[in-house]
Amino acid sequence: MKISPHKHQQIRLKNGLIILVLLCMLGTLAWISTRYSIETDITGNAGNTLSQASQKLLESMPGEIVITAFIKKDPALRSQIAHLINRYKRHKAELTLTFIDPGAQPEKIRELNIGATGAIIVDYQGRTEKLNFIDESSLTNALLQLANADERWVTFLTGHGERAADGIANFDLGQFSKELDHRKIKAQSINLATMPDIPGNSALLVVTAPVVPLLAAELELIKRYVQQGGNLLLLTDPGNHHLDALQQLLGLRQLPGTLVDSSSKLYGINDPSFVLASDYSVHPITQGFQTITVYPVTAALAIGEETDFHPVELLKSVSQSWTETGPIAGKIVFDADGDEKQGPLDFAYALTRDLGKKTQQRIVVVGDGDFLSNTYLGNVGNLDMGLRMINWLIHDDRFIDIPAKVATDKSLQLSQLSVGIIGFGFLIVIPVLLMGTGFYIWRKRKLR
């Protein structure tokens, strides 16, 4: 059929209009893409998404955050840093990033004591933190330190064989004190035999399972501190009765024996005295916390009917646990006819008491003094649990659920079978399919 010139002109006009509309749509989409972005994190552990803890911290920090990266002109490294900072900028517009070549400002580099590899300087409200390595964990922890304008002091009781706050022995708490110091929470030790009272700048008193009894005068000082509304962290051990008077003051008592957990074998732990906690009570300390915590040698606790405090069972053992009153050696079984108690059993309590409209006394008692020691602090969630307890006790509630570190899993573990299937598929199956498809198309075209 012959197309008239008029009809031909209409078709060309129609095609031109369609092309023009498509170009306008593409131009509009291109302009929108420069103003807005849509991203989806498809990694298994959301490794490219800012954690909820970091987002909450940014929401709690009013004002501008200035980040200056003294990094050489390495496009790959600068792009990596900018990509990380952009995650923070999506949740806080008042955050700026500036790159400076260290060689361009040598005097500034000497003033800030920056090494040859460079550094990241974070400024917030007149306070500064310097990072030699940057990832979400280090940057969030730096912001956490900057958000705390004032230093808080935690007092550790000493002089009776307690775990030393600055000690390096396996049973000491030196590493935990360093973690507190990173968050502007300072640890100080006192011996009440040589000091007349607990320091007034102390936001919290920590007592950790003394080896010898406290003097009567020391015990009275601590009781008076508690009665006057002081916050307290009490860590005890099985068979340690030197803190019974303090526990009675709080309405608690320690059950005889050592808490054992037969289910610990499921996690590869052959020592039944290791108690694992994974199911936590509803409390601000454990809000959003889903990590397992490990307690090496633990005493079960019970609350009395008469107490001036509001108690909450903070940590509880599983039903396969019990209080073993005999030696923990060889094969042990529950003795229902003796003094042993079948689990689940409580081994940590959080106690509160309202002292006024705006003042609340906070106390935590844990039946294990080792879970924060240098040896066990790095086990799964122990450090996070300890930091949560301290933050709640010193009334830093807004920082309770910010983890100690935010690490992403960047490794891919494949079995030999999986590697074989992937290799067979890429080296044989896919090439054969492509060759077969090509032959089929060639053959079909030849027969036309």
pLDDT in tens, 101-153: 888 888 888 888 787 778 899 999 888 888 887 888 778 878 877 887 667 89
264 and 366 both lie in a single domain = yes
The answer to whether position 134 is within a domain reads yes
**Total number of domains constituting the chain:** 2
Q: Is residue 96 included in any domain, yes or no? A: yes
Domain membership of residue 306 (yes or no) is: yes
pLDDT in tens, 365-387: 999 989 999 999 988 888 889 98
Within a domain: 26: no
Q: Is the dihedral of CA 426, 428, 433, 435 positive or negative?
A: positive
For 157, phi then psi, to 5°, come to -75, 135
Same domain flag for 262 and 130: no
Whether residue 353 is predicted with pLDDT greater than 90 in this model: the reply is yes
Are 265 and 121 found together in one domain?
Answer: no
- Identify the domain boundary among 399, 426, 443: 399
Q: Stretch 50-57: mean pLDDT, rounded?
A: 81
Handedness of CA 57, 58, 62, 68 (dihedral sign): positive
Residue 338 within any structural domain of the chain: yes
142 in the same domain as 157: no
User: CB of 405 within 8 A of CB of 141?
Assistant: yes
- Asked if 183 and 145 touch (Cβ cutoff 8 Å), the reply is yes
Furthest-apart CA atoms within the chain: distance in Å: 116
The confidence score (pLDDT) of residue 5 equals: 75
Could you tell me if 249 and 380 lie in one domain? yes
Together in a domain, 166 and 299: yes
**Cα angle vertex 155, ends 149, 157, to 5°?**
170
Element (H, E) at 143: helix 136-147
Q: Are residues 299 and 176 in the same domain?
A: yes
Instruction: Say if residue 133 is in the same domain as residue 155.
Output: no
Domain stop point among 117, 146, 175: 146
Asked whether residue 389 is domain-assigned, the answer is yes
pLDDT band at residue 38, thresholds of 50, 70 and 90?
A: low
> What domain range includes position 393?
151-399
Selected residue with higher pLDDT from 343 and 310: 310
- The verdict on residue 89 lying in a domain is yes
Q: Residue 442: what pLDDT?
A: 86
Residue ending a domain, choose from 355, 370, 399: 399
Q: The domain that contains 112 carries what CATH number?
A: 3.40.30.10
Full-model pTM: 0.68
CATH code at position 270 = 3.40.50
Q: What is the pLDDT of residue 221?
A: 93
Question: In this structure, is residue 429 part of a structural domain?
Answer: no
Q: Quick one: pLDDT at residue 408?
A: 46
Residue 348 has pLDDT above 80, yes or no: yes
Indicate if 285 and 141 belong to the same structural domain: no
Q: Do 268 and 377 sit in the same domain of this protein? A: yes
382-423 tens-digit pLDDT: 888 998 899 899 988 766 666 655 444 455 666 788 888 888
Q: What is the pLDDT of residue 407?
A: 46
Residue 427 has pLDDT above 60, yes or no: yes
User: How does 341-360 read in b/e, with b if 16+ C-beta sit within 10 Å?
Assistant: bebebbbbbbbebeeeeeee
pLDDT in tens, 167-188: 999 989 999 998 888 777 889 9
- Rounded-to-integer distance, Cα 89 and Cα 227, Å: 47
* Same domain? 159 vs 62: no
Cα separation, 326 vs 186, in Å, equals 40
- Regarding whether 216 and 349 lie in a shared domain, the answer is yes
The predicted pLDDT at position 369 comes to 87
